[in-house]
Amino acid sequence: MARRKTRPDAPDGAKGNELRDKYSELTRKYAGAVAALERRSDERVVSRFGWLGLQATGTAFALLRGNSIVLTNRRWKQLALGDGPWRSRSDSAGSKSYPDLNALALSEAKASLSVESGTVTEVFDRASSDTSLELRFEVASSGDPPTVMALATDVTERLRREQELIRTREALLQKEHLRVIGELTTSVTHEMGSTSPRRAPAP
73-86: pLDDT as tens digits: 888 888 888 777 88
pLDDT tens for 46-98 read 555 555 455 556 788 888 888 888 888 888 888 888 777 888 887 765 668 88
Q: Give CA–CA dist 150/109, Å, rounded.
A: 8
Question: What was the pLDDT predicted at 144?
Answer: 80
Q: Where are the domains of the chain?
A: 50-154, 156-189
In 3D, which of 133, 4, 152 has the Cα closest to residue 66?
Answer: 4
- Who has greater pLDDT, 101 or 188? 101
Instruction: Say if CB 132 and CB 104 are below 8 A apart.
Output: no
In 3D, which of 172, 164, 101, 162 has the Cα closest to residue 137?
Answer: 101
Q: Give CA–CA dist 133/82, Å, rounded.
A: 13
- Who has greater pLDDT, 159 or 3? 159
Report the pLDDT averaged over residues 181-190.
Answer: 80
Question: What was the pLDDT predicted at 14?
Answer: 45
In 3D, which of 40, 6, 8 has the Cα closest to residue 26?
Answer: 8
Phi, then psi, of 46 in degrees rounded to 5: -65, -35
Across 29-33, 67-71, 81-85, 155-159, the highest mean pLDDT is recorded for 67-71
pTM (predicted TM-score): 0.55
Report the pLDDT averaged over residues 151-167.
Answer: 83
- CATH 3.40.50.920, domain 50-154, yes or no: no
Residue 99, exposed/middle/buried by CB under 10 A (0-12, 13-18, 19+)? exposed
Helical residues (DSSP H) of 57-197, grouped into ranges: 74-81, 101-113, 156-195
Instruction: Say if CB 84 and CB 98 are below 8 A apart.
Output: yes
